[in-house]
Structure 1
Amino acid sequence: MTAAAAGDAPAARAGLQLGALLGPFGGGVVAAVLPEIGASFGVSAQAAASSLTVYLLPFAALMLVSGTLGQRWGPARTIRLAYVAYAVFTLAAAVAPWFWLFQVSRGLQGCANAFTTPLLMARLAAMTPPDRLGRALGVFGAMQAVGQTSAPLVGGLAAEASWRWAFAGIALVGAVLATWPLPADDEAGPDTAARLRDPWRASVLLPGLAALAAWGCMAGLSFLFALRMQDAFGFGAGMRGLLLTGFGVAGFLAARFAGAAADRFGGRLTALIGLVTGAALVLVIGATGVAPVAVAAWAAAGVCSQLVLVAVNTTVLSADGPGRSGAISVVQAMRFLGMAAAPAVFTAPYHADPLLGFALPAAVLLAAVPLTATLTRART
């Protein structure tokens, strides 16, 4: 590494970590302003809520291939172009006069984000010593949690004037990140030999299933937790929104701890603790009749989700084999597909019996425990 490159390394690392904020923030900023968005376009709040799905589905689906394509094109170049595209599409959403154009812009936002998250993680892994990779990915996860947790708050505050200002601000952040220093691509140039099928191997897919279970059956239950808070304890929308942030806040505070645990004890034990404890906490939410207990269990589940995700990400990014960017891209796609599937899978059981609605995801988490055998052993 040259002296100039070494000097740029802290700024480049900061740029990689800051980039983790953008996608979750841009995806979740609409959550608190759905009525205002609906009123702007003359559609119902329920129709406006589809903007969450319109963002998430192309984001998750395109990540099945975006990491490998980014390797082919050059990671730094791809990330910068994705930031520019994200800023443009976000600005288009901010000024859209028609709902269909707003929805198209949201979908294109998700597509652009698919080319940032996995490539940022892969570049971070490439410049981090193996014995500190868990900590670095823990910080990355913490930044994602900040974006996910703060988005509804910022969106709600912006909506006091106009929800469109929130999108204008996100577009500005994307433009700034596009000019931020990033680790340079390898001198050998883009990996034109990277193949789309390279990540489709057991050492990637099995940890990916663990991520799918953890994110779908913990973070993906935010809607179910909100229903439980209303049905069992009578909390209104404002209080439910506040309590929902507990998951993200706890995940943020615990992310560095989760990374340190993965570095010290290995991914296997770290993920095992996260899955088993997470299953118990999810079951408590559905079983308890004491509101503070349910709220505390929800927040603690945010810690457990970080334990599993950091363990999985550390294992995949430190493993030998072709296509590191493609591998983490597939894992992240599986993670968010699990989250997208949760409402369709668990809503009907909850309405049949609230306890059953939480017992099923708890059972899925326990069923995923054998997958921890595919994760990295404790370091020696």
Structure 2
Amino acid sequence: MNARVALHIGGLLGPFGGGVVSAMLPELSRSFAVSQGIAATSLTVYLLPFAIVMLVSGSLGERWGMSRSIRIAYAGYAVVALLAAFAPWFWLFQTSRALQGIANAFTTPLLLAKLAAVTPKERLGRALGTYGATQAIGQTSAPLVGGLAAEGSWQWAFVGLAAVAAGLAISPLPADSRDGAAQRPASLLDAWRISVLRTGGVAFVAWACLAGLPFLVSFRLDDAFSLSPGARGLVLTAYGVAGAIGARLTGGAVDRYGQRAVVCVGLLFAALAVASIGLVACLPAVAVAWAVGGVCAQLILVGIHATVLTGGPSGHGGTISVVTALRFLGMSAAPAAFTGLYRYDAALGFVLPAALLALTIPVVVVCWPQQSSG
């Protein structure tokens, strides 16, 4: 396997690991004799430590050697994924999910920083689009694999996760740079600049109110249309398939129209798509709206990545790590923020995150960092 290809494939592990339980929540609930709301916390338990550790994993990975850190993280991920597959108690399953998140914190941002380091600037937009496509594939395959596994035994999904992580641990990676300036890690102060936090705040909202909603869409598909786990997983793949197909085009859109414009367009149409899922009682329309959401997520993601990786000081490991951490913190907050609201009123459970997406647009228009697109 080509080293650059391994970087892109590695990018799918984060969304795959986070979303694999989305279509199997009712089965987890029955298997461990817990409520669906408690089962949904398996998303948060993975994503919260994943995001918190990413606040420092970029800088630590630069100091320890990015390739070494990535390989150790893959190996650890494989072990704890097997623990999830064989856990007899829910608390142990949750512990394994948290450990998966911690291991994954040392792959996602480091892979992105390494990709930026080995890609010429004039081709960075296209490379980010390809990376975004692989992440979309991860998000797509996760609910499908989880749902199909739940048709028989959900544990097989985690056996598959362990196999993927083990394979990535022995795959080639681009060599770490020997250039002194490139090796100098970004300082903590650089990583926590106001402009970085503002960009990360937009990522937080977008991932809480869009990319973090597969579990809520799964509930909607179960409650409104009585779909089986496999069928729920298939519908949820519309998000990732559409995102993967459109991801490379978003790189060109960023180069042509600029990061701010692309992020605003993504937020606007994402708000419309999310609201439609809660308001329209038609299965094909819900599937189409979720697919539109997948394209919007790629517009937002590539715009954010391009903003972070083309500005500020040289050393972007710590900076991209902080923004990615805030992105996944938003995703981890979604179940706690919206499950209860959805149970109170299904439509309101989708309309509120849609409104938050729309309200973020003025913030981007006024406060987005000024970056050159070329």
Question: TM-score under structure 2 normalisation?
Answer: 0.87
Moved more, 150-159 or 275-284: 150-159
Aligned match of 2:65: 74
What is the one-letter code of the residue matched to 1:279? A
Contact in 1 for aligned 2:147/2:233 (Cα 8 Å): no
Contact in 2 for aligned 1:68/1:323 (Cα 8 Å): no
What is the one-letter code of the residue matched to 1:294? V
Aligned match of 1:301: 293
Moved more, 254-263 or 160-169: 160-169
Q: Could you say if the C-alpha distance between residues 165 and 296 of structure 1 is closer, same or farther in structure 2, counting changes exceeding 3 Å? A: closer
Aligned match of 1:3: none
What is the one-letter code of the residue matched to 1:203? S
**Cα distance in 2 for residues equivalent to 1:35 and 1:61:** 28
Superposed displacement of residue 356, structure 1? 3.9
Q: Does 1:187 align with 2:181?
A: no
Q: Does 1:254 align with 2:246?
A: yes
Contact in 1 for aligned 2:186/2:319 (Cα 8 Å): no
Q: Could you say if the C-alpha distance between residues 168 and 53 of structure 1 is closer, same or farther in structure 2, counting changes exceeding 3 Å? A: same
After superposition, residues 102-113 of structure 1 pair within 5 angstroms as 102-113=93-104
Aligned length: 369
Contact in 1 for aligned 2:188/2:318 (Cα 8 Å): yes
Contact in 2 for aligned 1:30/1:152 (Cα 8 Å): yes
Moved more, 190-199 or 255-264: 190-199
Aligned match of 2:138: 147
Q: Could you say if the C-alpha distance between residues 110 and 351 of structure 1 is closer, same or farther in structure 2, counting changes exceeding 3 Å? A: closer
After superposition, residues 111-122 of structure 1 pair within 5 angstroms as 111-122=102-113
Contact in 1 for aligned 2:311/2:371 (Cα 8 Å): no
Q: Could you say if the C-alpha distance between residues 108 and 201 of structure 1 is closer, same or farther in structure 2, counting changes exceeding 3 Å? A: same
Q: Which has the larger radius of gyration?
A: 1
**Cα distance in 2 for residues equivalent to 1:365 and 1:49:** 22
Moved more, 22-31 or 345-354: 345-354
Matching residue within 179, 189, 200 for 1:208: 200
Aligned match of 1:242: 234
Report SS of the residue matched to 2:213: helix
After superposition, residues 18-97 of structure 1 pair within 5 angstroms as 18-34=9-25, 42-44=32-34, 46=36, 47-97=38-88
Aligned match of 1:4: none
Superposed displacement of residue 24, structure 1? 2.2
In the alignment, structure 1 segments of 5+ residues that lack a partner are 1-9
Moved more, 87-96 or 352-361: 352-361
Aligned match of 1:271: 263
Q: Could you say if the C-alpha distance between residues 171 and 275 of structure 1 is closer, same or farther in structure 2, counting changes exceeding 3 Å? A: same
Contact in 2 for aligned 1:132/1:263 (Cα 8 Å): no
**Cα distance in 2 for residues equivalent to 1:108 and 1:159:** 22
After superposition, residues 114-133 of structure 1 pair within 5 angstroms as 114-133=105-124
Q: Could you say if the C-alpha distance between residues 81 and 167 of structure 1 is closer, same or farther in structure 2, counting changes exceeding 3 Å? A: same
Contact in 1 for aligned 2:130/2:248 (Cα 8 Å): yes
